[in-house]
Structures are given as structure tokens and as C-alpha cells.
Structure 1
Amino acid sequence: MAESKQATHGIGYRIRRRLIKEWLLNRYLYLMAFPAVAALFVFHYLPMFGLVMAFQ
């Protein structure tokens, strides 16, 4: 019975579990990096829409 349950999960289940574990181990790193990535997006990529409109 245990083997059939293991077989039904497959490779995708193991990869997903590993990614969740990796996310939980590094969650504070991701939380510290989020403000920097958000600021980069807001101040460097959002103004590109204004440039596109200005040069049309």
C-alpha cells in the first residue's frame, strides 16, 4: 500500500516538496530582498511606459 502511494506522487511531488522546503529555509532572505526588487521595478521599469508614450 505504501509503495502505491509513493508511486502516485511521482517526480513532480518531490520537486515541489523540495522547493517548498528551500523557500521556508530561505524565507528571511527573500523577505529582505523583496523591498530592493520592488524599488528596482518601480523606479527603473515603470518609467519605461512613460517613455514609450512620449516617443509615439
Structure 2
Amino acid sequence: ISGFAIPKFVIDAPGGGGKIPVDYNYVISKNDKEVVMENYVGELYTYPQPALYRSLK
């Protein structure tokens, strides 16, 4: 199977930031409250963790 046949989960960054793959290469930091991701040009985007994720910890 070629690499094009393997699906990737991506997040569409707000404000024209593009699509960021949810991959260890793009996740800069992660804690119980938020995830910081970097797009292809080095811009950082912060996403809150879901409340359910926080309540399970």
C-alpha cells in the first residue's frame, strides 16, 4: 500500500492555518487542559482538551 492510501487524522487550524496532522511531529505540547500544535510554517495553535478527557484523569 502506498502512503497515499493510508488515511491521516487532521485538524483544520482556524484563520487559514491549514490542516495539521495529529502526529507526534506536529504536537508541540500536551497537558490535561490543552494541546499545542504547529502547522507547516511554524505557527502555533492551541486546542482545549474535551471536558470528558479532563474528568477521566
Instruction: Tell me, yes or no, whether TM beats 0.5.
Output: no
TM-score (norm. length: structure 1): 0.24
More helix by share: 1
Higher-strand-fraction structure: 2
Structure number with the bigger relative contact order (C-alpha 8 A, sep ≥ 6) is 2
